[in-house]
Structure formats: structure tokens, C-alpha cells
Amino acid sequence: MTPAAAILAAAQHPPGVGGLIALCLLALILVLFLLDRLGLWMQRRGWITYRKQKRPSRGSSGGGGGAMAGLLTEFQKIVEPQIEHRIQVMEERNESIGQRLSRGDDIVKPKKDADVESQQ
């Protein structure tokens, strides 16, 4: 037997080891899934803070958008410097709403001018 053939023969697993490895991986995935579910259950009960919860979307005009939204906001500040004050006011308002939500206060959305005029 050549040395290369001997190395290949030694590197091969005995029969049945592949199935055992697949079974172990499947068991590991199952255990991780169950631990995740346990963590979410404990978070719902208020015992731990496990994951950040996704905020409900506020439509197309809501914040968010990730890195591209931040890039576009910075671009808008360069092109229109007068808009920066409005952006700061909107960020402060969002922080204020977030703080009130975390305290559990009721939040009433302010009515828009068009809504107020149509009601009069």
C-alpha cells in the first residue's frame, strides 16, 4: 500500500459515524431552539431582558431605515442647513415618546393642522 493510500484509509470514518455526527448536530440545533424559546418566555414574564423587541412600524413616514436613512439625513443637512433644526426637534420628540412609552404613560398623537381645520 502506498503512503498516500494509507493516509486516505486512516482519514476515513468507520461506518455509522456520519449518522452520529448528523444526529448530534440536529440535537444541538434543537437544544439551542428550545433555549431561545425559554428565554423569550422568561422575557414575556418580565424575569429577564433577553432580546430587543422590534418596534411596530409607524408607516412610511416613521423613523428607522438603517444606515441609508442616516446617510440621507446627513446629506440633507449639507444640502439644506436650515433643516437641521427640524431634524433635532423630531429626534427629541421621538426620544420623549420613547421615554413615556417605557414608563407606561398613555400617548395621544397630536392632531395635524389639516385635521383640526376640517373638524371646525
Task: Say how many CA atoms lie within 13 Å of 3 toward its Cβ.
Answer: 0
Q: Decide if 73 contacts 65 (C-beta within 8 A).
A: no
pTM here? Answer: 0.36
Q: Decide if 42 contacts 50 (C-beta within 8 A).
A: yes
Q: pLDDT per residue over 66-79, tens digit each?
A: 777 777 777 777 77
Q: pLDDT per residue over 11-39, tens digit each?
A: 665 667 888 899 999 999 999 999 999 99
3 pLDDT more than 50: yes
Task: Estimate to the nearest angstrom the gap between the alpha carbon of 98 and the chain centroid.
Answer: 17
Q: pLDDT per residue over 91-119, tens digit each?
A: 888 777 777 777 666 655 666 655 555 55
What is the rounded CA–CA span in Å between residue 75 and residue 79? 6
Using DSSP's 3-state secondary structure scheme, residue 34 falls into helix
What is the rounded CA–CA span in Å between residue 40 and residue 35? 9
